[in-house]
A = this chain, B = another copy of it.
Amino acid sequence: MAGGVSEPERLARAALTRIVEPGDEHGGRWLRELGPVELFRRLTSHPYVEGSLPGASERRIEGMRGRAAVVTPERDLAAVDAVGGRFVVPGDPEWPSQLDDLGDARPVGLWVRGHADLRRWALRSVAVVGARACTPYGAHVAATLASGLAERGWVVVSGAAFGVDGAAHRGALAVGGATVAVLACGVDVAYPRGHAGLIGRIAQQGLLVGELPPGSHPTPSRFVLRNRVIAALTRGTVVIEAEYRSGSLVTARCARRLGRYTMGVPGPVTSGLSAGVHELLRGEAVLVTDAAEVAELVGDIGDLAPARRGPVLPRDLLDPVSKRVLEALPARGTAVTGPDVARGAGTGVDEAVGRLYELHSLGFVERRGDGWELTKWAIHRPNARRGGT
């Protein structure tokens, strides 16, 4: 998991997630110019070397230095480890490099919980976001859309909030699909509390992701800044029900700026909860009415995610568990269920499904109905399939 990232660097980044607020432009610039270890050194040097952290106000630097003096990154890493999580930083194989599009607003690192590989899932993911106080229509559309996307092998990313977010996560989970909740708090904090059960299920079957270290609580600005991570992580953002000036529109506009697809599901023009979506659709967003239309847009042939990141991973570079899961699929292209695959591979069901979604994003497997099967590509290169071991 360590990749080319040194331990001091990882420790420094872990510490910085407690010192620098998400999206802080000074922090991002210092991090780029100085690197995490040197930045952390300057934040903790005694006395402070005047001018060593240029640009920010004295008060702001004082605040950061105050927090830097008391951080215990080892304890945060242990805390995330205790809940089965990890801390992923730029340079790690799991780091979703599309976040680099955020420039100096790129997260310092991501705290992650769940079995799947964040980078591979993100390559084939769509954000489904919308109003917290959504109507039954919005909840229905979010759940149906998310189920349809999951059935087509897409990972549904949202923010775990009430309303549309929750419906989207549940829709994906309901069909045994993959879902990622990007939190505005620590990945060990269930917020909103009413979604503790859902968030727990996502940690088991999907992924929880956040910029903030264990135990952190959300604030209004953290919610807004969290949205840029949702937008950057995914191939596109679908907005379902949003009033004027809502947070979901922030996500959509951020997606647009980052060159991601921006989509909206219309609703009755008599509903204030669709007004923000319609405003978006009168701009540059694409109107979508179902999962097929979303998948068609974000997954256009010839622009599949793995292709953008270089050649598809050769099988012999798959990790042993993924390889076992792949080998548990029948060679003749018959679809089998997640539990069948788990039995064949000797893994848990959640583990197997997580790996299947990864393999899907790499072009090895695809969904058919409730099951999974090898892609034509995978069937016609049996040597590659078993090669290397």
Binding site for B on A (CB under 8 A): 137, 140-141, 265-270, 274-275, 278, 281-282, 286-290, 293
Contact = CB atoms under 8 A, between A and B. Distances in A.
B281 A269 contact: no
Contacts of A286: 282
Most buried by B among A137, A269, A288, A293: A269
Contact of A289 (B140, B278, B287): B278
Nearest to A141: B269
A270 B141 CA distance: 8
Contact of A287 (B137, B141, B268, B287): B287
Q: Is the interface of A mostly helix, strand, loop or mixed?
A: mixed
A275 B289 CA distance: 8
A288 B287 CA distance: 13
B275 A282 contact: no
Contact of A270 (B140, B282, B288): B140
Contacts of A290: 269
A172 B268 CA distance: 21
Contacts of A270: 137, 140-141
B278 A282 contact: no
A298 to B, nearest CB: 15
A147 to B, nearest CB: 14
A334 to B, nearest CB: 34
A119 to B, nearest CB: 32
A270 B144 CA distance: 10
Task: Report, nearest first, the 4 A-B pairs whose CB atoms are least far apart.
Answer: A266-B266, A269-B289, A281-B287, A278-B289
A97 B269 CA distance: 35
Nearest to A140: B270
Contact of A278 (B137, B266, B274, B275): B266
Contact of A137 (B266, B268, B281, B293): B268
A282 B289 CA distance: 10
